[in-house]
Amino acid sequence: MDRRRFALGAATLGLGAMAASTPLLAATKTRPGAGTKPVAKAAARQAGEPDVLILGAGISGLQASHMLEEQGLKVAIIEGRDRVGGRIMTLLDQPGYPEMGFNSMGEGYGRGLDVATRAGVTMQEVGSRYRIGPPPLLYIGNQAFTRDEWAKFPGNPFPDALKTAMPGELAAMLVAQKTRLKDWNAWADPVSAPLDISLHDFLKQQGLSDKAIHLAYDIAPYYGRNAYDVSALMSEYNDGFVKAQIAAGPKSFAVKGGNLLMAQALAKQLKGDVLLGREVVAITQGGDAGSRVTVHCKDGSVFSAPKVICTLPFSTLRNVAIEPGLNGLQAEAVAQLGYQPISMVFLTADTPFWEQDKLAPGMWTDGVLGNVIPQRYGEDPQQITGFIVQARGNLADYWDLLGAENAKALIVARIEALRPATKGKLRAHSYFSWSQERFNVGDFSYLAPGQVKWMADIAKPAGNLFFAGEHTATGARGLEGALESSERVVLEVIS
Ligand SMILES: Cc1cc2nc3c(=O)[nH]c(=O)nc-3n(C[C@H](O)[C@H](O)[C@H](O)COP(=O)(O)OP(=O)(O)OC[C@H]3O[C@@H](n4cnc5c(N)ncnc54)[C@H](O)[C@@H]3O)c2cc1C
């Protein structure tokens, strides 16, 4: 059985049986990796305390809470923000409910679709909406190109056989075609470690020049700040997951009215408390396996429980004092794991300028404008409800340095310069930077070359402190990965 099927099987078959036959929290067996330690009694819950305290009300914390409550445990969540959802974040007051975080789930998101059904939200198919209209126009400097024009352009730095590829698609295309992994589920196995080189080296091996790599990756990196900064092996894992989703079917689903509604509905269904506005600053526990875990918040409040699940991204966990400290690869990962810089502006247009200038509404640029992505989230799928302009990597940092208002003005001015038909017709509404979000400090986690070895220890329980969250998943990505981590951690906690 592969890891993925094991996780699913355990979740659907084993969990209920295990819970029914295990006196929950009466005794902790030796945990994985602590084989020689004696079996110790877990601390008993004290009056008013939860059995399990969960840090973070993102999807992984909400799902872990639900699964534990299903097993009859008392749970409470501590969340730093004044809202639930974490990286699920919708602008509920803007036309079409633009998503600043989680966008959509594929047909293969078994866990995600199950959670959405339980939340009682209405899902709408959005995959076909992504495919409406012409592909985005490519802008190199001030010059616009269709795919055919780009293929013939003398300044196109791609090898002859790849000249028809647009810059934004070439790196992913090569990873998909040339992946070295026979079984992408084995990406984190030590046997794959020799493949853990930089994406830059991988792309070089496919015949790309430095100039071609810069254009194809560094301008708008999917992960990291440039192709040196990201592991090719991790990119191949991502590719395996994407292929599995494609094989499952072409549909994608999002919540009608905004994905944030799903997180809000899940939080409402919980019996236990969801305490908002509590920033965790320290986690302490005694030295032996039977000791309770205490969580200290910035506002002076203190909570304790026999077991704690931490779903905080490592970008914020690294600012939390953990006593006793973590060790080895896990400590390295907490200190250094990278998180993707992404900044976005939501724009609306007073008139359909694309009908006037007869050009594609979407734009992929190699300059400070980034990527202009039309949003079609109205009742009529053809209707463009607005545009998300997105910067990744170094460009996101640059926008953040300019500040929200200057960045918005720059973006509008750049579009107006490239497309005179937009003059005076664009309204820049919200600016959203994941790097500047205090409780995320970046979007997805990503691994640099040589860091895939961290996955062996990244989620290792530390006494009665357990770890979950997107960054700990090894079989799925994104929201589905966050949910995978909830299943794993719940199995660890109840066994
Ligand atoms: C722009 C963007 C687009 C995305 N698109 C997709 C997509 O299309 N498909 C897909 O599958 N996935 C997508 N994702 C990824 C998906 O949203 C995440 O993988 C998932 O939501 C992560 O859930 P999580 O619970 O692991 O982490 P989070 O949602 O980050 O939850 C962690 C929680 O911990 C809280 N926290 C942090 N520090 C502290 C502290 N010190 N004290 C107390 N609380 C704290 C945070 O506020 C947060 O609520 C996208 C993400 C982004 C940002």
- Domain coordinates of the chain in residue numbers? 3-86+256-338+460-494, 157-248, 341-433
Compute and round to an integer the Cα radius of gyration of the chain. Answer: 23
pLDDT over threshold 60, residue 23 = no
Fold of 3-86+256-338+460-494: FAD/NAD(P)-binding domain (3.50.50)
Bridging pattern class, strands 386-392 and 342-349: antiparallel
- Whose Cα sits closest to atom 13 in ligand 1? 102
Instruction: For residue 149, report the distance from its CA to the centre of ligand 1, in Å.
Output: 39
Quote the pLDDT of residue 286. 87
Task: Check: CB of residue 115 under 8 Å from CB of residue 266.
Answer: yes
* Cβ(80) – ligand 1 distance below 6 Å: yes
Q: Which atom of ligand 1 is nearest to the CA of 469?
A: 26
* Cβ(167) – ligand 1 distance below 6 Å: no
* Cβ(196) – ligand 1 distance below 6 Å: no
Could you tell me which residue, 47 or 221, shows the higher pLDDT?
221
What are the tens digits of pLDDT across the range 253-305?
999 999 999 999 999 999 999 999 999 999 999 867 678 999 999 999 999 99
Instruction: For residue 66, report the distance from its CA to the centre of ligand 1, in Å.
Output: 17
Name the amino acid, one letter, at 392: R
Identify which of 62, 83, 87, 91 to mutate to test ligand 1's pocket (most ligand atoms within 8 A of the CB). Answer: 87
Phi and psi of 356, rounded to 5°? Answer: -75, -50
* Cβ(57) – ligand 1 distance below 6 Å: yes
Give me the mean pLDDT over the 338-352 stretch. 97
How far, CA to CA in Å, does 288 sit from each of 37, 43, 292, 320?
Answer: 10, 10, 9, 21
pLDDT over threshold 80, residue 465 = yes
Closest residue by Cα to residue 359 from 288, 402, 415? 415
Q: What is the DSSP secondary-structure string of 99-129? A: BSS---EETT-HHHHHHHHHHTPPEEE-HHH
Instruction: For residue 87, report the distance from its CA to the centre of ligand 1, in Å.
Output: 3
- Whose Cα sits closest to atom 14 in ligand 1? 102
- Whose Cα sits closest to atom 34 in ligand 1? 56
* Cα–Cα distance, 402 to 407 (Å, whole number): 6
* Cβ(87) – ligand 1 distance below 6 Å: yes
* Cβ(61) – ligand 1 distance below 6 Å: yes
Task: Check: CB of residue 254 under 8 Å from CB of residue 381.
Answer: no
The pTM of this model reads 0.91
What are the tens digits of pLDDT across the range 186-239?
999 999 999 999 999 999 999 999 999 999 999 999 999 999 999 999 999 999
**For domain 341-433, is the CATH number 3.90.660.10?**
yes
Give me the mean pLDDT over the 91-120 stretch. 97
